[in-house]
Amino acid sequence: MSGDETKSEVFSVTEIGDVAAEKATFNTDKKKCWYEVYVQPCLAELFGTSLFVFVGCASVIGNVSNGVVQPALAHGLALGVLIALFGQISGGHFNPAVTLSVYLCGGMKLALLVPYIVSQMAGGMIGAGLTKAIYSSTVYDLSLGGAFNVAGDLGKTTLAEAVMTLMLTMAVCMSAVNSQTRTPMAPFCIGLTVAANIFAGGRVSGACMNPARAFGPAVVANHWNYHWVYWVGPMCGALLTASFIRLLLGDRKTRVVLK
């Protein structure tokens, strides 16, 4: 047998082995596909929202200065870290308003829309429950468990929530969904947006921007005064974001007009 023939045979055997390995990997991935596509993202949203709401509520309950600095930094930093951790699994929404805007901008499947929101609601309750478990009842009750309390005009509060959520969901969709403006800095941009909004509107509405963040402590602390504000405002902001991106700011694939 010549040297050329030997090299040919060795090459052929190696090639066959590579093909077999690729087929085995493909079959394994195919078996995991249903879990990674439908179950794992919901679990990531559940865990991420739980941790985010826990940090958010704890920052409000333990805020001895009663200013906005501590809640702003806690919410912004926690969200940025959690998006960096879970973003490749679920997108790192942790917020029904964000999920709605991402879906309307073509960033996720319809089949995951309701499971995501249910996971976020459950995560909000878990995070709020953990906060209640670590604080004394006196301190917890004094701050309503981190729940939101509308102290001013309902119209202004709802408008503030809509505008701040518009900015947040715009940051999410433009930095993580829209192909023209997508950036690896998305977790930093989104976390910084949340912190900036709390600095700007914390005194007006509490700067919730997240129905799950409002729902969790409302359930655990049983505080429901004008709770609808923290659904209507953020969802209106999400719809405005989707409208702007679909009509004006999105890439050619995302825009529905002016292509």
- Residue 98 sits in a domain whose CATH number is 1.20.1080.10
Q: Is 166 a member of any domain?
A: yes
Assess whether pLDDT exceeds 60 at residue 13. no
Q: Is 234 a member of any domain?
A: yes
* Structure-token match 């998006």, residue found: 83
Q: Is 141 a member of any domain?
A: yes
**Which of 19-33, 90-104, 117-131, 160-174 is least confident?**
19-33
Q: What's the whole-number average pLDDT of the chain?
A: 90
Assess contact for 49 and 119: CB atoms under 8 A: yes
Confidence category of residue 116, pLDDT binned at 50, 70, 90:
very high
Q: Is 123 a member of any domain?
A: yes
Per-residue model confidence (pLDDT) at position 151: 80
Residue 166 to residue 103: CA distance in whole angstroms: 15
Per-residue model confidence (pLDDT) at position 65: 80
Per-residue model confidence (pLDDT) at position 6: 45
Assess whether pLDDT exceeds 60 at residue 3. no
Q: Is 12 a member of any domain?
A: no
Choose between 9 and 123: higher pLDDT. 123
**Percent of the chain topping pLDDT 90:** 82
Per-residue model confidence (pLDDT) at position 31: 55
Per-residue model confidence (pLDDT) at position 66: 80
First to last CA, the chain: 64
Confidence category of residue 244, pLDDT binned at 50, 70, 90:
very high
Domain that holds residue 75: 44-249
Closest CA to 75 of 238, 202, 191: 191
> Residue 29 burial (CB < 10 Å; 0-12/13-18/19+)?
exposed
Per-residue model confidence (pLDDT) at position 10: 43
For every residue of the chain, DSSP letters joined together read: --HHHHHHHHHHHHHHHHHHHHHHHHHHHHHHHHIIIIIHHHHHHHHHHHHHHHHHHHHHHT-TT-SSHHHHHHHHHHHHHHHHHHHHHH-S--SHHHHHHHHHTT-S-GGGHHHHHHHHHHHHHHHHHHHHHHS-HHHHHHTGGG-----S-HHHHHHHHHHHHHHHHHHHIIIII-TTT--TTHHHHHHHHHHHHHHHHTTTT-----HHHHHHHHHHHT--TTTTHHHHHHHHHHHHHHHHIIIIIS-TTT-SS--
Q: Is 196 a member of any domain?
A: yes
Q: Is 154 a member of any domain?
A: yes
Number of domains in the chain: 1
Q: Is 195 a member of any domain?
A: yes
Assess whether pLDDT exceeds 90 at residue 25. no
Choose between 179 and 20: higher pLDDT. 179
Residue 214 to residue 161: CA distance in whole angstroms: 12
